[in-house]
Chain A
Amino acid sequence: MVKTSYMRLKGSQHLRQRLLLSTLAATPILIDEIRPDDTWPGLRPHEISLLRLLEKISDDCVVEINETGTKLKYKPGVLMGGRYHVHDCGLSRSIGYFLEPLIVLGLFGKKPLSIRLKGITNDSKDPSVDTFRSTTLNILKRFGVPSEGLELKIESRGAPPQGGGEVILNVPMIPSSLAAVTWIDEGMVKRIRGVTFSTRVSSQFENTMIHAARGIFNRLLPDVHIFTDHKSGEQAGKSPGFGISLVAETTSGCFISTDTAVCYARGEDADDDDEKKELMPPEDIGEQAASVLLGEIEQGGVVDSTHQGLLFLLCALCPQDVSKVRVGKLSPYAIETLRHIRDFLGVKFVIKPDPTTETVILKCVGCGLKNLSRKLS
């Protein structure tokens, strides 16, 4: 038997990107020094959960973790996809944390992926499920992902700390590869859409948020519609919470989004060392979300700062063709994504600032990843 050679990495940072790229590039990885000096050393519950999720959707993948959890060996298998998967995402991170790698992995499966995810649907740390519906899935479509079978259904919502939300994600597999894009025209914002949610609090909170957000947008654009989604009973999950997700659509078909949520902090969160904040009133949340969105629009670029990493990843996974995209200021997460793309896929972007608009233009030649797991008939 051939001894597998592992790519050696250190530290707990960017575990999702590493696992994702390791799986796509079929490169086994060995990560050590995962939080060795913490009071609770090793992998966090959500990271373990992510590994379990990878095991679920792929065949023949090997995960080894040492006793303290500070060392991880991951040998990727063949992505299988398939239907009727159920995964409990736990309560330490929201479903968005899992969706981000999952939507990319699903594209390269043997069969279309359909999975039910349980946990927290909206929190302030990760993109909410509403943002995935409004923005992330649309970005995928740009790269030639068929829109048929690409959807995210929100069955019930769950706010931290108790969660209780459920979503169903459907991702089609791509026929053979993605399509390279030239996407540098961000266009002008033609409308703003959004959705608020409230679970186990008064639905009036939503109207207050919408009122506050509209107050800021109305001076710029009349076409603002923010919908409400008040959940009650079973569908409201187990914890009180409320929040808002906003998306600006441009004339050239770009989606710029932001979201936030307010809820009680997770009690037993080990690495939550900052002080527990007072809950923000809905009015401030509405205003803040609107301000963040305007900030994103001001930055320019065809995606918002949250989606930069995904955008670069998709560009790098394209066939050997030139992709060209424009983004605003590079986010730290996106920079780290670029580095990991270089390490795993060998794709290096040409990054040029565009001083007139204060944006950044990135160009790359895709690595030509094909959907090899796909069943050939």
Chain B
Amino acid sequence: SKWKESLIERTISRQNTNLMQLVYGNSALKSTTSIGEGQGSSEDEESEDDEFFKPKGESEKKSSEGLENGNVSAEDCSKLTYRVDLKNWKDEELIEGIRDRFVTGNWSK
């Protein structure tokens, strides 16, 4: 519907401006890896005991606090395995839209 359009546009523009933040996160917020780095080995051994009897949900919550939420066991693929944005390229309008990306397009631009 129409009232959503401006919202979507605004979200897109906001995403663009925050690309640095999207990738690296807030500078104040430590990523999960840097937290892991900071732990000394002796300290880790102690905490291992503590974590032994931790409810399952709790540790999951902790790991999802960071940036990499949810994809801790994501598959290691450089290729996008599913394509949601697959368009129907038989459509004349779409074809015209990218014609200028080809040498057959309008060169005067």
Contacts and interface: CB of A to CB of B under 8 A. Distances in A.
B97 interface: yes
Contact of B101 (A10, A216, A219, A297): A297
A14 B89 contact: no
A298 B98 contact: yes
B60 to A, nearest CB: 9
A7 B103 contact: no
Interface string B85-106: 1111110000101111111110
A190 interface: yes
A338 interface: yes
A59 interface: no
B74 A220 contact: no
B11 interface: no
Residue picked from B20, B31, B36, B86, most chain A C-beta under 10 Å = B36
Residue picked from B39, B77, B80, B95, most chain A C-beta under 10 Å = B77
Contact of B102 (A10, A188, A306): A188
A351 B21 CA distance: 9
A339 B67 contact: yes
A13 B34 CA distance: 16
A220 B23 contact: no
B13 to A, nearest CB: 8
Nearest to B36: A8
Contact of B71 (A13, A305, A343): A13
Nearest to A14: B76
Nearest to A251: B103
B1 interface: no
A335 B71 CA distance: 13
B29 interface: no
Nearest to B71: A13
B81 interface: yes
Contacts of B37: 7-8
Interface stretch (A72-80, A170-178, A285-293, A318-326): A285-293
A278 interface: no
Given A9-B33, A10-B32, A338-B23, A295 B76 contact: no
B101 A11 contact: no
B108 interface: no
Interface stretch (A114-122, A149-157, A230-238, A352-360): A352-360
B68 interface: yes
A264 B32 CA distance: 38
A51 interface: no
B6 interface: no
Given A10-B72, A295-B86, A305-B80, A351 B20 contact: yes
Interface string B34-45: 101101010010
B6 to A, nearest CB: 17
10 contacts: A16-B76, A216-B89, A220-B98, A292-B83, A298-B101, A330-B19, A339-B33, A339-B67, A343-B34, A355-B16
Given A291-B89, A294-B89, 17 more contacts: A10-B32, A10-B63, A12-B72, A12-B73, A13-B72, A13-B73, A14-B76, A126-B79, A220-B99, A251-B103, A288-B86, A295-B86, A300-B101, A309-B78, A339-B33, A342-B24, A353-B16
- Across chains A and B, which 4 residue pairs bring their CB atoms closest together, nearest first? A8-B36, A11-B72, A353-B16, A351-B19
